[in-house]
Amino acid sequence: MSSDAKHDYHLVDPSPWPAVGSVFAFLMFVGAVLWMHKGYDRFGVLSGTPYIFGIGLAGVLYTMASWWRDVIKESVEYGNHTPVVKLHLRYGMLLFIASEVMFFVAWFWAYFNAAIFHADVGVPTWPPVGIVTLDPWHFPLLNTLILLTSGTTVTWAHHAIQTGDKKGAVQGLLLTVLLGLSFTCVQAWEYAHAPFTFGFNNLARAPFTDTAHAALASGAGNFDAVYGSTFFMATGFHGMHVIIGTIFLIVCLFRAMAGQFTPTRHFGFEAAAWYWHFVDVVWLFLFACIYVWGVGPVVQG
């Protein structure tokens, strides 16, 4: 009897990567806790050091690269991705994006709960007194234009792959990657120059000295961190998704250059494109709700 499969389903071979990835992810989490507890005597010499986190992160990245390599081999070399398998891969990606939607719903919920019902969390006004927000029509608008443009370039690359235009696919992907990197650089600069922080010392940094002193005297400094926390958690996690999406597209770029995408076999690119469009849409909501709707006194200059 032949050992060849007589069905359209792909029974995945035993893989070490789920277990290895879990170990390194746990190590990265523990390392993050140690890194953020600087001066905490209970952790000894590891307190406040980034080394454990760095080892965990390197392991996670290695796991991702190895796992991706195996999946690509299953598709390109072994031909295991039949039409039925491709359909189920699409279902899996859609469910993953749906879970990501709910992930961001949590951060939007936290922001709107503090912004609309600010009195319930002890904040008299929103934004809190002394908080100077970022001008939405400056770098946030620039980043919005960058992401919207990247959505058109990734669509260009998709159309090129569907028509067998390898050169157009590579050009579209390269432009998308450059735009993604540009977004990250602009946001990093914005974070570095933000007039508020994650913690409780926002009022001390506010340029409106009289207002800040009055707020500190009234005890408002105990609550002003709610703005920085909700802002950086929402926009920061989005920035992390942009970085992940950019890496995803870089992998697709090298695959396109190697000629691995054809008009009938390019789900890896489709998954990256879906993820990138999701990141675009989330940013539009962040820009409208947090930067524009939640604007207060802005940085001048």
Q: 274 or 295, which is more confident?
A: 274
- Say what the pLDDT of residue 148 is: 96
What average pLDDT is seen over the chain?
87
Tokens 């070490």 belong to 16
- Say what the pLDDT of residue 29 is: 94
Which residues in the chain are classed under CATH 1.10.287.70?
Answer: 9-80
- Say what the pLDDT of residue 45 is: 73
pLDDT at 12 over 50: yes
Cβ distance 71 to 35 under 8 Å? no
Q: Tell me the range of 107-121, 208-222, 237-251 where mean pLDDT is highest.
A: 237-251
- Say what the pLDDT of residue 224 is: 61
Q: 200 or 220, which is more confident?
A: 200
Average pLDDT of span 125-144: 91
- Say what the pLDDT of residue 293 is: 94
| Three-class SS state of 223 | coil
Q: Specify the DSSP class assigned to residue 262.
A: B
**Helix 225-257 × helix 166-192 angle, to 10°:** 160
pLDDT at 199 over 80: no
Count CA atoms closer than 13 A to 165's CA, side-chain side: 12
Average pLDDT of span 291-299: 82
Q: Mention every residue, 6+ apart, whose C-beta is less than 8 A from residue 55.
A: 24, 27, 31
- pLDDT per residue over 160-169, tens digit each? 999 999 999 9
Largest CA distance in the chain: 87
Query: 202 pLDDT band (50/70/90 cuts)?
Result: low
Query: 128 pLDDT band (50/70/90 cuts)?
Result: confident
Which residues in the chain are classed under CATH 1.20.120.80?
Answer: 81-293
- pLDDT per residue over 46-78, tens digit each? 787 889 999 999 999 999 999 989 999 998 888
Average pLDDT of span 203-230: 56
Residue 224: closest CA among 214, 235, 239, 234: 214
- pLDDT per residue over 17-33, tens digit each? 999 999 999 999 999 98
Q: Which two tokens stand for residue 294?
A: 């939640």
Residue type, 144: T
pLDDT at 42 over 80: no
Average pLDDT of span 225-233: 90
Average pLDDT of span 81-89: 91
Average pLDDT of span 86-94: 94
- Say what the pLDDT of residue 288 is: 96
What percent of the chain has pLDDT above 70?
87
Distance CA 237, CA 156 (A): 27
Average pLDDT of span 90-104: 96
pLDDT at 220 over 50: no
Output the CATH code of domain 81-293: 1.20.120.80
Angstrom distances, CA of residue 22 to CA of 66, 97, 118, 245, 278: 14, 21, 39, 21, 26
What pTM, to 2 d.p., does this model score?
0.85
- Say what the pLDDT of residue 269 is: 96
What percent of the chain has pLDDT above 90?
64
Residue type, 286: L
The architecture (CATH level 2) of 9-80 comes to Orthogonal Bundle (1.10)
